[in-house]
Structure 1
């Protein structure tokens, strides 16, 4: 089976930085996986996602998505990926419907298809009755759900998620995770980052634990737990590999 994302010796060193944020990084992610990229602050997760989404240029190395290499096909890659950032990418004075029609049009969607898609996804995530309310009136969990919809209207083949449930209540969290599982069952490969290790243990089919720009361990959640001495859950594995030191920084 060919990987849907193939990364070979990818490195990134930012201008004036002393160290590489990502160092000779290689990884294969296969179609249909829910792949968790986990690591402490500064591990390289955001840098990796930013490069795969075309927001940051690698210092060296190679990657391809769906057999499209980034150097020759960056515009084609952007059409088949969805990105849901941690920060809300929404216009607060517009309604949920207006926001989603705008983002859908940016993907080239229009007419009755876009209208019906917006209604369908708002309904699935329990937001249809709030469709014509301004985003600035929404709770954090409601904004998080609209933020997710904005990234998946065009039915991406690969979906990148950065902390998709951060700061939300348990009901919104469950609605988001259930919808993401549905998308995955329908064929979307998901790349997920989070600090919620219990959530990642339940949600992800495969995981890579990163630190200092490199992979420390990779496998299924159950496999990683079984192979780590005295580990009862994914958090135990994480602490065993990355240590207990605080990672505060400025």
Structure 2
């Protein structure tokens, strides 16, 4: 959709989290306000055909239009510090003034029962699930905290954790087939790392967990995705504080 404006709007310079690079005085600040159904916006790296993925509400600075393209510097996430560009038309459609709240979201996960014979309709198989209930901003969902047993994976121990910014688009083959049961599923390639160990555990959608917080209520994922990405932790590296309560019925 083209908006009859020659370039993206200019807004004030909000306070920067410590995890972001501060833009220069007078720098134009915008945010990714629209992403694709996979949860990402694709932009081109400066002077190349390399495509770089940006998550919703990613902050960009030094926004300027030249020769039909809008150039900007990424201020957070894996692409932080890189100069990328979009066509002017795409920039008007996808970049805007709406940024995240500078306070973290709060997630509570409370352990429930262990179901050794949980049925996955999407996968058409029985799975041994350690279930729990996730609550964020009043949105509740059933999650699995572990499905793969005896290979080093185990449910996240009770405690407090930081949920980090998304890293990169995750393999569509791991989640896209869930559209068999939820055709309107979106943002499935956005996974949020949990600050624990080597950060290989995530908050994500699916029916199989390798020690992750895996959301099994697919229809609620867009609301959870929005509640996470619309917030930032104080240091700017994360989106939420996660509290895990109770005790799993099966631990190892």
- What TM-score do the two structures reach when normalised by structure 1? 0.26
Bigger relative CO (Cα 8 Å, ≥ 6 apart): 1
Identify, as 1 or 2, the structure richer in strand: 2
Identify, as 1 or 2, the structure richer in helix: 1
- What TM-score do the two structures reach when normalised by structure 2? 0.26
